[in-house]
Amino acid sequence: MAKISSEEIILRYNDSVIRQSDLVTLNGPKWLNDRIIEFYFSYLSSFYPSEHILLVPPAITYWIMNCPDTNSLKDFLKPLNLPSKKLIIFPVNNNDDMSRADGGNHWSLLAYEKTDNLFVHHDSLGDMNKSHAKCLYNTLVPYIGASYPIPSYFEYECGPLQDNGYDCGLYVLATTKVICDWFDSYLKEIGHLWFSLVWEQVNTSTVSGLRKDILEVIKSMKG
């Protein structure tokens, strides 16, 4: 039987591509790479097809943070149509070396909620990615479609924390799913944000189970 190459493509889903090597990160205990996060964002988008929700892939988020030219960034953001969205979620990576696509060692999440005109940063290691999230926030403010008042920034410091050095990406994915669930919930209708749901539903147990869940989804899609 021929040996499967680590770079062999095993699944194409929308704009995401999963290679054999990506599955290794789901078998744990390992740090999730950007391809798994992009895939799961795309997968969630199929369950929450609202035109008002945008889950931004890691590569696009990283370019927004590091684009050196304002005019180029403006053109780059046009297809995303950010001002039309009511909920936008960005995965934040702390890679400071643009020459390394696989750089960085931590994921966190920055969410924008239009009704409250608020950016919220969720970090499962406290404030490890705070400076990177603030950088992304400052970059996005001119393009989010809320010229006055300027969107607020909130560091959510009471969220669930990981108890190891590799589950940060899973916390991002689990929190993203909870926030998307919140978007259609009664809590949103009565003006409450998603914090209580994140606290109730994102924990070591659910995060651990998410590895298996994503792996099963990929296997079912590849046939």
Q: Note the pLDDT tens digit of each residue in 178-220.
A: 999 999 887 787 778 999 999 999 999 999 899 999 999 999 9
Which candidate in 22, 121, 122, 123 is catalytic? 123
Q: For residue 1, what pLDDT band results from cuts at 50, 70 and 90?
A: very low
Burial class (CB in 10 A: 0-12, 13-18, 19+), 56: buried
75 touches 65 (CB < 8 A): no
Pick 109 or 48 by higher pLDDT.
109
pLDDT value of residue 207:
93
- What CA–CA distance (Å, rounded) separates 183 from 72? 32
Question: CA nearest 93: which of 36, 34, 152, 175?
Answer: 34
Helix axes 58-66, 130-140, angle to 10 degrees: 80
Length of the chain equals 223
Q: Note the pLDDT tens digit of each residue in 19-73.
A: 999 998 998 788 999 999 999 999 999 988 789 999 999 999 999 998 888 888 9
Res 2 pLDDT > 60: no
- What CA–CA distance (Å, rounded) separates 196 from 179? 10
- What CA–CA distance (Å, rounded) separates 204 from 109? 17
pLDDT value of residue 101:
60
Give catalytic status of residue 123 as yes or no. yes
Which candidate in 34, 121, 167, 168 is catalytic? 168
How many percent of the chain have pLDDT more than 90? 73
Res 223 pLDDT > 70: no
pLDDT value of residue 118:
96
171 touches 131 (CB < 8 A): no
87 touches 120 (CB < 8 A): no
CATH topology classification for 9-216: Adenoviral Proteinase; Chain (3.40.395)
- Which DSSP state fits 212? H
- Which DSSP state fits 82? G
- What would the two tokens of residue 1 be? 């039987």
Residues 113-132: what's their mean pLDDT?
Answer: 96
Give catalytic status of residue 106 as yes or no. yes
pLDDT value of residue 68:
83
Give catalytic status of residue 180 as yes or no. no
Instruction: Kindly compute the dihedral angle of the four CA atoms of residues 123, 28, 174, 92, in this order, to the nearest 10 degrees.
Output: 40
Domain chopping of the chain, boundaries: 9-216
Could you give the count of Cα atoms lying within 13 Å of 86 in the half-sphere of its Cβ?
13
- What CA–CA distance (Å, rounded) separates 166 from 23? 15
Which candidate in 106, 121, 122, 132 is catalytic? 106
